[in-house]
Amino acid sequence: MIWLGLFSDESAATAAQAVAQAATSQGIPMLAKEEVPGGPLLIAAYLVMWIVVFAYLIWMHRTNQRLLAEVELLEQRLDERIAEGNEQRKNIGPRGT
């Protein structure tokens, strides 16, 4: 259980204070700690990313459905043309008579 104390917030703060004191005693200027509230920005970025991914998937699904309907229509037209061609061959008779 000793290792838990090594990584606690108190020990990290104490270590940071010790480093700051050692640095200032040697004449090294310390920069102020910068706090950037990045949590909400990160959440917003992930939200935007997932919205874009889902919008793309929906667009792809609709495009796929439209193309499947077009292929089905073309297959029907092809079947009709084949049937018409077979009817014309029957009407012509053997050897074009």
pLDDT 10s digits, 11-59:
666 766 776 676 667 666 666 666 667 888 999 999 999 999 999 999 9
Q: Alpha-carbon torsion 88, 93, 96, 97, what sign?
A: negative
Helix (H, G, I), strand (E, B) or coil at 49: helix
- Distance CA(15)–CA(22), nearest Å, equals 11
pLDDT 10s digits, 62-85:
999 999 999 999 999 999 999 988
Instruction: Please give the residue that has the higher pLDDT: either 40 or 89.
Output: 40
Query: pTM of the predicted model, to two decimals?
Result: 0.49
